[in-house]
Amino acid sequence: MENVKTLGEFIIEQQTDFHGSTGEFSSLLSAIRLASKVVNQQVNKAGLMSHILGSAGGTNIQGEDQQKLDVFANNQFIKALTGRKVICGIASEENDEYIPINNDGRYIIAMDPLDGSSNIEVNVSIGTIFSIYHRITPVGQQVRAEDFLQKGSQQVAAGYVIYGSSTMLVYTTGNGVNGFTYDPGIGVYFLSHPDMKFPAQGKVYSMNEGNMNKCSAGVKQYIEYCKHVDSATKRPYTGRYIGSLVADFHRNLIKGGIYMYPATTDSENGKLRLLYECNPLAFIAEQAGGKASDGYRRIMDIEPVNLHQRVPFFTGNTHMVDKLEELIKQEK
């Protein structure tokens, strides 16, 4: 076990040069680490436990069925984060309103506690996504909406957990991206992917192509471009779409590629949520040398107006997002 670093060691090492080393941020990351282990344990048992599988019978604010694991994951993350006292408020996909926590806390968090939940019953990778900010209202008061409606460029950290063939936690504090793989035998995350970067040449495109005829001309042209045969640019690209944003993003980060969830004729802002899906992955993408755009603007420059707002989302290798933006901008 020489030369291996645990997530715990890594957090302590980083703490000394981060945010005045009060230990508060480390405590926050520890809460996420802990909750992810509890969720991981349930995810692994999901196929065995009929009381975990299936719908919890409710719907969230977007009218989507809440799966039992959604609710379980949400509760676990809220419980772990509330216990640490450093968080003053939580916004979650599964809660209509933000949740005020400890007025003396300095950090707020926005999260998608279980991403890709339609994939639970078919044993495909799912995830958790989180985004962390400093509050902007004074410490000591209850948090307000403005604490959550900050631009993505204000994030102090962001990350995701992927519950896959291995479970990994990948995060950034604005100083590169690091990935940790979980050893379930001993309950420890190890640094397995230091300083993650998109490979120079992306070769995967990921989109629900069933929506193609509901997309704008620029997006359609880009899909045609991906399929076009051209050896100089290594096309056609490979099509890969899991339907779990975290898993699609993670594969593209490692292999090189672009993820697309565009506007469609029946959803003018696409499907994905700015605060707890797009902004955190945009921060990671940029830190890994990639890019994230809504087709016109940098995702992290968008001024949020509500907690659950959606936005068209294109992220991955910079050269791929640039080409797509060029075609989208030309269509007008």
Length of the chain: 332
Q: How far apart are CA 79 and CA 124, in angstroms?
A: 26
Give the SS3 label for residue 21: helix
- Residue 20 is given by DSSP the state G
Cβ atoms of 95 and 59 closer than 8 Å: no
Q: Would you count residue 94 as binding ligand AHG (CB under 6 A)?
A: no
Shortest distance (Å) from residue 90 CB to ligand AHG: 16
287 is in the binding site of which of Mn ion, ligand AHG, none (Cβ under 5 to 8 A by kind)?
none
Shorter beta-carbon distance to ligand AHG: residue 37 or 271: 271
Q: Would you count residue 112 as binding Mn ion (CB under 5 A)?
A: yes
**Residue 327 zone, left/alpha/beta (φ > 0; ψ -120 to 50; rest):** alpha
Identify which range of 18-26, 110-118, 142-150, 323-331 contacts ligand AHG by CB under 6 A: 110-118
294 is in the binding site of which of ligand AHG, Mn ion, none (Cβ under 5 to 8 A by kind)?
none
Give the SS3 label for residue 58: strand
User: Of 19, 13, 297, whose CA–CA distance to 157 is shortest?
Assistant: 19
24 is in the binding site of which of Mn ion, ligand AHG, none (Cβ under 5 to 8 A by kind)?
none
Shortest distance (Å) from residue 244 CB to ligand AHG: 5
Q: Would you count residue 105 as binding ligand AHG (CB under 6 A)?
A: no
Shorter beta-carbon distance to ligand AHG: residue 162 or 320: 162
**Residue 4 zone, left/alpha/beta (φ > 0; ψ -120 to 50; rest):** beta
Shortest distance (Å) from residue 283 CB to ligand AHG: 17
| Chain residues 190-209 in contact with ligand AHG, contact rule CB under 6 A | 208
User: Of 104, 113, 151, 92, whose CA–CA distance to 32 is shortest?
Assistant: 113
Which residues lie near ligand AHG (CB under 6 A)? 64, 93, 112, 115-117, 208, 243-245, 271
